[in-house]
Structures are given as structure tokens and as C-alpha cells.
Structure 1
Amino acid sequence: MIKIYQTKSIFRIEYELTCNIKVLREEKGWSQEVLSAKMGFAVKFVGKCESLDQPEKYNLRHMGILKKVFGFESLDDFFPNGIPEDEQIVIQYKKVPKKKADGTDSKLMENVVVEIVVVDAETKAEGNKQSKK
């Protein structure tokens, strides 16, 4: 049986920012460690931001740094599909083995999104209470 995990309530803009930065990073061929170094942060910083298991997420200060790292003129460049609605979501995900270069399963796990649920709440504290029900 596959166990389904769930994040605490976060704003959709936080999630989409993380997803978009991951795409940009991969397009440049940068590892999480390389982007962390370019930002001037600890080697595991980007990995923590990209992990659904971790509470660390990018904030406004990070966006200013990322804007310089990627050579953007505007913070809007992080959202090519437009700024997402300011709604809270809970992400349900499962853990699956990462694939090695030869296609076999690794011992390392990655998170795969199963479902994104919109939470009807005005604050994160309120959203987290609702998501525990």
C-alpha cells in the first residue's frame, strides 16, 4: 500500500514559484547545489525549498537574489503564466524511488504530487487547522 503524505497549508504562489524556479534551474543544467552556491547559501538550501517534506520556501529576499542569478528584469518573470491566485493549498504526495541513470530504482526517494487541494481559509493557521480534519 502506498502512503499518501500531505503538506501544511501554503499559498499557491509559493508552490508555483518553487516549481517555476526548479524548471528554470533544470533548463540551465544546474543542480540544486549549484543554484544554492550561486545564491550564496548553504549547499542544501535549494533542495530544502524544492522538497515538499521541508518547511523552507523561497521568500521575498530570495526572489531578489534569484532575479539577479537568472538575469531577470522583473519578479513577474518568475511567473510566465501570470501571477497565481492568492489561495491556500495543501499538496498531497507520495514518495517513490528516484531512478538511476540505468533506469533502475535508487535508494533515494522523491516526492510525486498526487493531488492539490484548495483550502478555504484566510490565514495559514486557519488553513492548517482545516487540513488536519
Structure 2
Amino acid sequence: MGEIYQTKAIFRIEYELIKNIKTFRDDRGWSQEFLSSKMGFAINFVGKCESLDQPEKYNLRHVGIFQKVLSLKSLDELFPDGIPKDEQIVIRYKKVPKKKADGTPSKLMENEVVEIVVADADTKAEVNKHNKK
């Protein structure tokens, strides 16, 4: 099955926002680079946010930008299934080849989620210690 990697603990709302923005982007046929450009950020910004092995994530400042760039009537559209529980999760994933337009595997890799686990109290405490430094 290949090597399994895992993220540091992140809040479920962060992960859901990443997933939902990716869906909006894919539905419009926009590349990561195109959305980054429309947002006024570096060309690789969205790619870093969508990658599980990168520390960059969307924040509150980006929410307003998404509303404008995606022409959303309400911020509720960013979370069509409702606001997720305020819990931290760890995402286990593997790296798989991206698919080319013709469906064949590319040399470029992407992350495929294998499992999402609610972080235990020890993990949360450890994350908080590191964030205070």
C-alpha cells in the first residue's frame, strides 16, 4: 500500500475549508495557480494550502477573499454540510501519482487521505506547547 504519512493535529474546520475550496475550484475548472492569482497571492499559495505535507493553511483573512473571488452569496456556502465540530484531527495519507488529462499516471505526486482520526488530549496538549514557543 505504500508509506503512510500523517499531519500534525489541525482543526477539522481547517481541513473542511481546504476540501470545500478544492471542490469549488475543481467545479470551476480552475487550477491552483489560477485561484492563487485571483486571490492576489503567490502562484503556489493554494497548492501549499491544499497539500497535507505543507504547514500553510487558509485563515480567517482568506474567507472574505474566497467569498469575493468565488462570488458566494453567503459564507455559509463554504461549509455546505454545516460548521464542523471544533476538534483537532490527524490526517493519515499516502502519496500517489497525479493523473494526467488522459487518465494516465503523472510523475507528479498528490496526497490521498487514508484515515482521519480525532486527536487525543495528549496530542492536543503537545500541539499547544509547541505553538506557545
Answer yes or no: same fold by TM over 0.5.
yes
Secondary structure of the corresponding residue to residue 82 of structure 1:
coil
Query: Size of the alignment, in residue pairs?
Result: 129
Quick one: structure 1 residues 73 and 104, their matched pair in 2 at CA, closer, same or farther if it must change by over 3 Å? closer
1:42 aligned partner: 42
| Matched-pair identity in % | 76
For residues 79-133 of structure 1, give each alpha carbon's deviation from its aligned partner in whole angstroms, at most 9, with x where no partner exists: 000000000000000001112233332110110000000013398553588xxxx
Quick one: structure 1 residues 122 and 25, their matched pair in 2 at CA, closer, same or farther if it must change by over 3 Å? farther
Measure the CA separation in 2 of the matches of 1:38 and 1:80.
Answer: 23
* Structure 2 alignment gaps of length 5 or more: none
* Structure 1 alignment gaps of length 5 or more: none
Q: Which moved more, 1:12-21 or 1:116-125?
A: 116-125
Contact 2:96 2:110 in 1 (8 A): yes
What is the RMSD computed on CA atoms of the aligned residues? 2.0
1:98 aligned partner: 98
What is the TM-score normalised by the length of structure 1? 0.89
Measure the CA separation in 2 of the matches of 1:7 and 1:56.
Answer: 12
Secondary structure of the corresponding residue to residue 15 of structure 1:
helix
